[in-house]
Amino acid sequence: MRAEATVRPGVPARRARRFRMVLLLWAAVLAASDLVVKAMAEALLSTGATTDLGPINIRLLYNLGVAFSLGADLAPWIVIAATGLIIAALTWYTVSTAPSMTGLSRAGSALLLGGATGNFIDRLDGHGVVDYLHSGWFPTFNLADVFVTTGVALLVMGTILSPRAGTGD
């Protein structure tokens, strides 16, 4: 009988690979869905149309910067390079730690990575990220931003709520 290699005690290598692949697959699905919604928003709102849905309006804007338009005055290649490096580090971290994460943290990581990747791919044309959700009291945002924000919250909650190793819990 062959003994399976383990990544950490209790997590066989095959299961660790599955955790990693599922996380990356969900991130890719989320990024793709974000890009489809952005393409629809551009197609439907490029004439300047606005749709009022009560507390939120649907209107087309382009964000040349990152969160809250920070860095909008920088050259696009600088924003692309910086966000690309951050996403590469984020991908490495989430993939390498996925087997030891709680399910909640893995879900948060997939959302975070999917949203960040969707915005990164959208940014590559040099025209900025397509934003279309406007509340009037908060900067205009998109589905990827919702993924990133929710992902960070779930990742933090999963980390805080996880049982501590070696505490006897």
Q: What is the 3-state secondary structure (H, E, C) of 97-108?
A: HHHHCCHHHHHH
pLDDT for the residue 126: 84
The contacts of residue 57 (CB under 8 Å, 6+ apart) are 50, 51, 133, 134, 135, 136
For residue 41, give the nearest of 31, 49, 32 by alpha carbon: 49
What is the structure's pLDDT at 122?
95
Mean pLDDT per segment of 10 residues, for the chain of length 169 residues? 45 87 97 97 91 90 83 85 95 94 95 97 92 89 96 94 57
Q: What are phi and psi of 136, to 5 degrees?
A: 95, -30
Residues 147 and 63: their CA atoms lie apart, in Å, by: 17
pLDDT on residue 138: 85
pTM of the model: 0.85
Residue 5: per-residue pLDDT: 39
Give the residue numbers annotated as catalytic, written as ranges.
131, 145
